[in-house]
Structure 1
Amino acid sequence: MTTDSAGNIYLAGAFTGFIDIGEKRLTSTSANDPDLFVAKLDRQGKLAWSHQFDETGDHYRPYAIAPDGDGGIVFCGLIDGSPIDFGGGQIAGDHIGSYIVRLDDAGGYLWHNFYAYDHLTELFVDRGGSIVVSSMFGVSSEPGHIAQIDIETGATTRKVPACDEPDGDTCGDYGSNLPIVRGPDNTVAAVINDSSARARVTVQKYDSFLSRLWSIDLSSPDSAVDAWDLASDGLGNIYIMGGFSGQLEIENGVTLFTSDPTEIEAFLVKLSALGEYEWGKSFGGVGRRSDWTMSVSDAGQLAIFGSFSGSLDLGGGALTTTAASDEDLDFVLAKLDAEGSHLWSRQFVNSGGQVWPSSVITDSEGTVLIAGSLEGAVVDFGTGALDAAESWAMFLARFPGP
């Protein structure tokens, strides 16, 4: 999910069976192989347009979507070699790779490009009009990288390793996506997980030419740490959300938090635009490690959205799940101010089944949008139960500010 400057909402995903987006129903062409979709809704959730892309084979869902700055969108995803047509002819590579597609403001096809062996996971459009992407790996299993791509042609104009340290070492293998975020001065921040040891994450900042400005590590020397999401405010401050067990240290061995080494505890850390530590928070145990996401307004107000089991405290008091099973996780949505202090939080009880938070967005007016999916679950976000007890369902919900 993403939004543009006018508040329009863009969704991208995959489905089998059918999906209702507003008053329009899309029906997949196969009972087994998912079709892809993209859709545009206005600020009030009314459908403007949607597109369905029929495919044969097990394509992965689109990984990222972003406004192009000219009323349209760009989105990326992974292809396993099976054919698919986004409007400009069939892509039917014989090997795995990634695509980028650009659509205009009416959803019309502009162009696509295929990047063989790349695994693109994140993208945005910078203020200079380039698409900035991150990739977990590239040609011949080369390390992950960050690249700039021409928005008119899809050609790669600049590419740098995502984690090439000054001493020549690398930050390890890449076991998850490589979150990237745009700064207000057209800089790029990235966070890299070292999946080989799971003992550190590295936060890096680049200038508009992808030259590295600084780098800082967060580590858990005796256990594990993972970064789940990354955000930047209007001053260029950087926020990292993730999970750790045992203890979490920042560079130079300064301990920030300690926890039960057998549990995953959520953390939130703020760095200045220069990479200096500002503050950090730890919140307690969570459920699946990757099911947390966040966004920040230009003024620095944070929205965090995730799932958890047991007990969690985001600053407004303990929230406790009532589910009988650790698999039946509840949702939680919270707003924090620029210093990480709790403004409000809401727990959404899951009556049973699986819940999957995917996106949260907050704007200058304090409005919060959340999106995700349910499997065999019933959840009420405040306007009546969303019932997916017998099926899969995707959801989109909006909460007013502040």
Structure 2
Amino acid sequence: MKNLKLLTALLLLATININAQTLEWAKSMGGTNWDEGLSITTDVSGNVYTIGKFQETVDFDPGAGTFNLTSSGSDDIFISKLDASGNFVWAKSMGGNSVIEGYSIALDASGNVYTTGYFNGTVDFDPGIGIFNIASAGGDEIFISKLDASGNFVWAKAMGGTIHDEGYSIAVDASGNVYTTGWFNVTADFDPGAGNFNLTSAGLADIFISKLDASGNFVWAKAIGEAAYDEGYFIAVDASGNVYTTGYFYGTADFDPGAGTFNLTSLGGRDIFISKLDSSGNFIWAKSMGGTGYNEGYSIVVDVSGNVYTTGWFDGTADFDPGAGNFNLTSAGSVDIFISKLDVSGNFVWAKAMGGTASDRGQSIALDASDNVYTTGWFQGIADFDPGSGTFNLTSAGIGHIFISKLDASGNFVWAKAMGETDYDYGYSIALDASGNVYTTGYFEGTVDFDPGIGTFNLTSIGSYDIFILKLKQKGITSFVYNDLTQNCFRDSNEIGLQNRFVTINPGNIITQTNESGVWVVDSLPAGTYTAIVDTSGNWQATCPVTQIFTVTNPNEITFVPDFGFVSTQPCASPDVSVNMPFMRPCFSNQIIY
């Protein structure tokens, strides 16, 4: 019977990284040219919205039907809506006689769709039968567009000057106010209405942060920067309306956009910044992380407690503690992925690195309801996605592969997946729905298997690069068993998982075992109430209850069981003592030393 239990445990352990995440669906859209998905989000019903760019004629119905859109210029924007099953709902395009790029998408509580990017020339921002033309002042200008949940035009606005200005990221607060970040140079007008609100860059390019109301009226705009290049890549808003941005800066830059001064100085090349303003655009704090190399923050997200998570890339040795302390990470190759967590005041909590000896980049970050951290991007060669003491290598067979990674709220490894073939495949954006399902978009070339498990689900591009949209379903029951060094029944970032601890679930007498990261997973259980019990064998004492009660409400969704903490009752190994007694007299019968 013991052997049967052990076999059951080992079989369950073998499925930990296979069945916990299953491919729900994957879709492709594209034509004979270069098409990219750049940003993705979901609504409360699980509908999936994507923005990106396309060229010439593309069929945006990924099913058996056809819904062609044709670009007006060299690049046009597409906005696509699929339902929770990946079926086509609608797709819209905006374009003109030149170039328009759509970088970011966000929704409000009513399902209205907001986008930002840049354009030049004259562009019709009404994707329906109407016309709403906006002409750029000379160079590239920022646009902000609003559609309703059916894709109908509501309004569009432009901000900028005569040189080059880009909107990179957009966010919406609970009142429908619209926040945008990106970069601008020289003088740009950020009031898209009849008024003027000019900002002037201190250098070649400065960061901007802009706020419009739900009708697209100007509220405020702020500039941050210095004499070189500084860019805002991503923006997020918390429940109180505080505004967070990340990106990069050079040299010494003043991050207080008001009358005060708060200078940050990069250590060498590009350094990462994280900035927090209140809902009125007033300075709260700003932090920098980096070293002498190439470091960029590319995506940011905030949890309900105000903790701030960022991803991007770095090279060489970079200090990720923005305070008086030091927490250095060193890249294994040219650039590596980083994930950073700061608290509500901008103090260091943890930072992690993932990568290999080639080039690896974190493009997008998202959280689930338990503050597990998901990232996507791309990597080359062999890369280790376990940022802890363990190893979890993924291998790119081509120029670059898509990755999807999951860490827990303390930065410990949970799982990682790769998708790609011999060409260039890129994950640009990641989002989660209320059930914890994971969505990504980006682009791929050739034939790619988008099932990250043992199955196969191939998509083949029509042209050079096609858009993909992927949904992974997370289901099962999962938890951690860890070494609770602080003995407070809370898993801190330095507290590692315990491998090979058996967990018994009843009813059913199901036995599973923790993996090298301390994670245990059971594929699925019928709806009901269960208990999970961790064995207490060996020199371990529980700091949390060894029995946890949990309820499965939906077998097709993921259920999180409270973690199990243990502390060693023998923190030091038994010593080996060697005694040299050259003068022991052989005439004594008792030669035992006590």
Shorter-normalised TM range: 0.7 to 0.9
Q: Does 1:104 align with 2:148?
A: yes
Q: Does 1:151 align with 2:192?
A: no
2:133 aligned to 82, 86, 90, which one? 90
Once residues 287 and 97 of structure 2 are traced to their aligned partners in structure 1, the CA distance between those partners, rounded to angstroms, is: 43
Once residues 314 and 297 of structure 2 are traced to their aligned partners in structure 1, the CA distance between those partners, rounded to angstroms, is: 9
Q: Does 1:26 align with 2:68?
A: yes
**Structure 1 match to 2:308:** 238
Aligned in 2, Cα 1:376/1:287: closer, same or farther, shift over 3 Å?
Answer: farther
Asked if structure 1 preserves the Cα contact closer than 8 Å seen for 2:299 and 2:363, the reply is yes
Bigger radius of gyration, 1 or 2? 2
Q: Does 1:178 align with 2:241?
A: no
2:106 aligned to 48, 66, 73, which one? 66
Q: Does 1:42 align with 2:83?
A: yes
2:50 aligned to 2, 8, 11, which one? 11
Once residues 125 and 401 of structure 2 are traced to their aligned partners in structure 1, the CA distance between those partners, rounded to angstroms, is: 38
Q: Name which of structure 1's ranges 391-400 and 284-293 shifts more when overlaid on structure 2.
A: 284-293
Once residues 51 and 106 of structure 1 are traced to their aligned partners in structure 2, the CA distance between those partners, rounded to angstroms, is: 10
Once residues 111 and 66 of structure 2 are traced to their aligned partners in structure 1, the CA distance between those partners, rounded to angstroms, is: 22
Q: Does 1:317 align with 2:391?
A: yes
Asked if structure 1 preserves the Cα contact closer than 8 Å seen for 2:46 and 2:84, the reply is yes
**Structure 2 match to 1:384:** 457
Once residues 44 and 144 of structure 2 are traced to their aligned partners in structure 1, the CA distance between those partners, rounded to angstroms, is: 22
Aligned in 2, Cα 1:358/1:313: closer, same or farther, shift over 3 Å?
Answer: same
Once residues 309 and 262 of structure 1 are traced to their aligned partners in structure 2, the CA distance between those partners, rounded to angstroms, is: 10
- SS for the counterpart of 1:224 is coil
Q: TM-score if structure 2 supplies the norm length?
A: 0.61
Q: TM-score if structure 1 supplies the norm length?
A: 0.88
Q: Does 1:192 align with 2:247?
A: yes
Matched to 1:119, the amino acid is: E
Once residues 341 and 101 of structure 1 are traced to their aligned partners in structure 2, the CA distance between those partners, rounded to angstroms, is: 39
Asked if structure 2 preserves the Cα contact closer than 8 Å seen for 1:305 and 1:334, the reply is yes
Asked if structure 2 preserves the Cα contact closer than 8 Å seen for 1:234 and 1:297, the reply is no
Q: Name which of structure 1's ranges 3-12 and 300-309 shifts more when overlaid on structure 2.
A: 3-12
Once residues 317 and 178 of structure 2 are traced to their aligned partners in structure 1, the CA distance between those partners, rounded to angstroms, is: 37
Asked if structure 2 preserves the Cα contact closer than 8 Å seen for 1:235 and 1:298, the reply is no
Matched to 2:239, the amino acid is: P
Aligned in 2, Cα 1:254/1:383: closer, same or farther, shift over 3 Å?
Answer: same
1:227-306 alignment, distance < 5 Å: 227-249=297-319, 250-252=321-323, 254-259=325-330, 263-285=334-356, 292-306=363-377
Residues 316-352 of structure 1: CA distance to partner in whole angstroms, max 9, x if unpaired?
A: 63324253x6xx112221211111111222222x321
Aligned in 2, Cα 1:38/1:287: closer, same or farther, shift over 3 Å?
Answer: farther
Asked if structure 2 preserves the Cα contact closer than 8 Å seen for 1:321 and 1:329, the reply is no
Q: Does 1:52 align with 2:99?
A: no
Matched to 2:121, the amino acid is: G
Once residues 245 and 337 of structure 2 are traced to their aligned partners in structure 1, the CA distance between those partners, rounded to angstroms, is: 19
Asked if structure 2 preserves the Cα contact closer than 8 Å seen for 1:102 and 1:111, the reply is yes
**Structure 2 match to 1:166:** none
Aligned in 2, Cα 1:224/1:7: closer, same or farther, shift over 3 Å?
Answer: same
Aligned in 2, Cα 1:191/1:390: closer, same or farther, shift over 3 Å?
Answer: closer
Question: Shift in Å at residue 248 of structure 1?
Answer: 1.4
Once residues 347 and 208 of structure 1 are traced to their aligned partners in structure 2, the CA distance between those partners, rounded to angstroms, is: 39
Residues 199-223 of structure 1: CA distance to partner in whole angstroms, max 9, x if unpaired?
A: 4222111112121111222120x33
Q: Name which of structure 1's ranges 390-399 and 137-146 shifts more when overlaid on structure 2.
A: 137-146
**Structure 1 match to 2:482:** none
**Structure 1: tracts of 5 or more residues without a match:** 164-169
**Structure 2: tracts of 5 or more residues without a match:** 1-39, 188-199, 252-267, 475-557, 559-594
Once residues 97 and 317 of structure 1 are traced to their aligned partners in structure 2, the CA distance between those partners, rounded to angstroms, is: 45
2:174 aligned to 127, 152, 160, which one? 127
Question: Shift in Å at residue 237 of structure 1?
Answer: 0.6
Once residues 306 and 119 of structure 1 are traced to their aligned partners in structure 2, the CA distance between those partners, rounded to angstroms, is: 22
Residues 201-250 of structure 1: CA distance to partner in whole angstroms, max 9, x if unpaired?
A: 22111112121111222120x33322122111121110111222221113
Asked if structure 2 preserves the Cα contact closer than 8 Å seen for 1:72 and 1:102, the reply is yes
Residues 236-295 of structure 1: CA distance to partner in whole angstroms, max 9, x if unpaired?
A: 110111222221113356332342586212221110111111111112337656562221
Matched to 2:347, the amino acid is: E
Matched to 1:394, the amino acid is: I
Aligned in 2, Cα 1:218/1:187: closer, same or farther, shift over 3 Å?
Answer: same
- Percent of pairs with identical residues: 22
Once residues 88 and 139 of structure 1 are traced to their aligned partners in structure 2, the CA distance between those partners, rounded to angstroms, is: 31
**Structure 1 match to 2:15:** none
Aligned in 2, Cα 1:85/1:334: closer, same or farther, shift over 3 Å?
Answer: closer
- RMSD value over aligned CA atoms? 2.5
Once residues 355 and 101 of structure 1 are traced to their aligned partners in structure 2, the CA distance between those partners, rounded to angstroms, is: 29
Asked if structure 2 preserves the Cα contact closer than 8 Å seen for 1:241 and 1:269, the reply is yes
- SS for the counterpart of 2:468 is strand
Once residues 55 and 104 of structure 1 are traced to their aligned partners in structure 2, the CA distance between those partners, rounded to angstroms, is: 21
Question: Shift in Å at residue 125 of structure 1?
Answer: 0.9
Q: Does 1:224 align with 2:294?
A: yes
**Structure 1 match to 2:408:** 337
- SS for the counterpart of 2:298 is strand
Residues 167-192 of structure 1: CA distance to partner in whole angstroms, max 9, x if unpaired?
A: xxx49522x54311112322111123
Asked if structure 2 preserves the Cα contact closer than 8 Å seen for 1:223 and 1:261, the reply is no
Once residues 105 and 93 of structure 2 are traced to their aligned partners in structure 1, the CA distance between those partners, rounded to angstroms, is: 15
Asked if structure 2 preserves the Cα contact closer than 8 Å seen for 1:58 and 1:82, the reply is no
- SS for the counterpart of 2:465 is strand
Asked if structure 1 preserves the Cα contact closer than 8 Å seen for 2:247 and 2:298, the reply is no
Question: Shift in Å at residue 122 of structure 1?
Answer: 0.9
Question: Shift in Å at residue 88 of structure 1?
Answer: 4.3
Once residues 319 and 13 of structure 1 are traced to their aligned partners in structure 2, the CA distance between those partners, rounded to angstroms, is: 30
Aligned in 2, Cα 1:137/1:116: closer, same or farther, shift over 3 Å?
Answer: closer
